[in-house]
């Protein structure tokens, strides 16, 4: 009976991944710049989610759970990289492949968004790219709605400052 339950949960998780993979990958791509890192981030988050699948009582909240795992994982990676980064005198020029204005704006935004703290970046991604409400963002990040608002305010002020 235990084996049957385990197989049923594995199939349920597999169905979830098939149905939500593309949306979750888009979320991962908004959290990290490199497409390969985004795929790694999603795979790591899904592996961690699978280990806790039976503990997720309300499966309708699975997207929020996976996004939270991605945010935590990205923060772990950021902290690990931060320890190995070395300052350089001049930043390399960012190349833009197709030269269109839209891609230039996106590249500029992606460069500027890296100046934000991981928490600020998470709030910006969930509020604007994922179009979550303040309350949904707060629930996904495990913080108060007021903290989301103040973090968002500081992040937007920082982005404006960087754009000038």
**pTM tops 0.85:** no
Rounded to 10 degrees, the C-alpha dihedral 116/134/71/102 comes to -60
pLDDT attached to residue 5: 63
pLDDT attached to residue 85: 59
3-class DSSP state for residue 21?
Answer: helix
Q: Last residue of some domain: 59, 87, 115?
A: 87
Same domain, 110 and 82: no
Inside any domain, residue 93: no
Q: Last residue of some domain: 87, 122, 142?
A: 87
For 37-47, the pLDDT digits (tens) are: 999 999 999 99
For 21-33, the pLDDT digits (tens) are: 999 999 999 988 8
Which of 128, 130, 120 lies closest to 154, judged by CA?
120
Highest mean pLDDT of the ranges 78-92, 95-109, 146-160? 146-160
pLDDT attached to residue 83: 61
Show the domain range for 144.
98-164
- Give me the helix-helix angle, 145-163 and 134-141, nearest 10°: 100
Total domains in the chain come to 2
CATH number assigned to the domain comprising residue 24 = 1.10.1740.10
């Amino acid at each position: 009976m235990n084996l049957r339950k385990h197989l049923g949960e594995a199939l349920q998780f597999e169905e979830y991944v098939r149905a939500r993979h593309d949306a979750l990958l888009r979320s991962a791509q908004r959290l990290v710049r490199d497409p390969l890192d985004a795929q790694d981030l999603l795979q790591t988050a899904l592996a961690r989610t699978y280990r806790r699948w039976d503990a997720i009582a309300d499966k309708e909240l699975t997207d929020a759970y996976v996004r939270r795992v991605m945010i935590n994982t990205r923060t772990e990676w950021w902290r690990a990289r931060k320890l190995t980064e070395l300052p350089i005198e001049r930043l390399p020029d960012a190349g833009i492949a197709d030269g269109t204005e839209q891609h230039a704006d996106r590249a500029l935004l992606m460069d500027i968004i890296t100046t934000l703290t991981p928490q600020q970046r998470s709030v910006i991604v969930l509020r604007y790219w994922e179009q979550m409400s303040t309350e949904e963002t707060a629930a996904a990040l495990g913080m108060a709605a007021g903290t989301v608002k103040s973090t968002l305010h500081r992040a937007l002020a920082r982005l404006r400052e960087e754009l000038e």
